[in-house]
Amino acid sequence: MFPDSRNVLEPNCSRCPELAACRNRISWGTGPLDADVMVVGEAPGAGAPDADLWQGGNWTGMAYTTRHSGRKIRRVFDELGYDAYFTNAVKCFPEGDDGSNREPRAEELANCFEHLQTEIEQVGPSVIVTTGKHATKLLFDFESIRMNGFLERVLSPVECERLGVTALPLLHPSYENVWRKRLGYDRPEYIAAIGSELSALV
C-alpha cells in the first residue's frame, strides 16, 4: 500500500545546498510513529512528476516509494506482518552528472544524520533495519563499529548502544536478487530468515 502521509521534520531544509538545488521535495519518513521496526534506506530516487505515485520517488516527498525498491522492501514487511516506519539516511535525491542518482557524500550523510536521530527518538523502534551498505555504515560509524565486509553483516543483529537500539542489516532491495544468491538464500528462505531475526528482536 502506498503511504498517504509523511513525517516532516525541517521544512525547506537547506543543509546541503547541492541537494536542495536539484530536489523537488524532501522525502521524509513515512509510517506509524510507534512502529516496532524502522527501515532505513540510502536516499530517494529521482522519480518523475508524470509517473504514478509508486514511481514518483523524490517527487512524492515520501521515503521508499519508487516502483521497484519501494514496492519490494514494503512487500517484505507486509508479508512478515510488520507495519514499519520507512525513512532514508539522506532525505533528498543526490543527483549525479548524468541526472541519475549518485552515492551520497560523507558530508551529506553527516548533515542528515540529525534528522535520522530525531526520527529514532520519535518512533522509538525496537530494531532499525538498514538496507544496503551505506545506511549500515552510517550507523556503524556513529557507533564506532567496524563493518569490514558488508555481506558478512547481513542478517546479523548489532547492538547500537549510543542510539539505544538494535540494528539488523539487510541487502538493499535494488541489489537483493544479485547478492541474496551469494548468501545462499532463495527469496522465501531470505524472507523467512528476516522474520526469524525480527521475531527475536521485537
- In tens, the pLDDT along 135-148 reads 999 999 999 999 88
pLDDT of residue 96: 84
Strand partners, 21: none
pTM over 0.75: yes
Question: Distance (Å, rounded) from C-alpha 82 to C-alpha 85?
Answer: 9
Q: What is the pLDDT of residues 15-54, one digit of tens each?
A: 999 999 988 999 999 999 999 999 999 999 888 888 888 8
Question: Distance (Å, rounded) from C-alpha 150 to C-alpha 193?
Answer: 17
DSSP, res 61: T
Q: Among 92, 120, 118, which Cα is nearest to 105's?
A: 92
Q: What percent of the chain has pLDDT over 90?
A: 76
